[in-house]
Structure 1
Amino acid sequence: MLHKPINSDGCILKNSDGTTLILTGFEWQVPETDIRRLFEQIGEVLDLKMGKTPEGSPMATIVMAREQDAEDAILKYDGTHYRSVVLRVTRPSS
């Protein structure tokens, strides 16, 4: 399921440059710093906002510095196991 990225006020962000990602599938106990560190292994993280999906599950909106970094993050982390759960990394729905 695709989700729309949100900012800290809960407003939907626009994804005009292809650098914004949506991360779901992680547990509420995972701190923002751990998620940031995970994605910084790929490239520079310009912004990271924690929130929840419409269903109430945890979600993070991540803005990478470069479009290639965002693509690499999808390839590396989407469908991988992290702390006994499977991560989903996608582009936002339009």
Structure 2
Amino acid sequence: MCRSKHLSIKSVTVAGIAASVLLGVAGITLNPTPAGAVVYCQYIGYPPSCVARAGVVLRPRPVARAAVRARTASPTNLNGGVNRVGVRR
């Protein structure tokens, strides 16, 4: 007679419990902790909740201004700058 190998319910249950315990221990051990990073200020109050370095003079942030641009459509550039031969209208 040929004996076939069957997994018993008891061995599958024990293996499942062991895997659950192992995953639980790994989850507790590998839990990330918050980093204690320090962010230094570049300007006064920027970035928020920053720390000023000793000996560094902080100035106000520069104000963003709108850039002045020339007209994009000129008599020689009626197609909007597309790289084609001839004028497309």
The bucket for the TM-score relative to the shorter chain is: under 0.3
Higher strand share: 1
What is the TM-score when the length of structure 1 is the normalising length?
0.17
Larger radius of gyration: 2
TM-score (norm 2): 0.18
Q: Which has the higher relative contact order, 1 or 2, with Cα contacts under 8 A spaced 6 or more apart?
A: 1
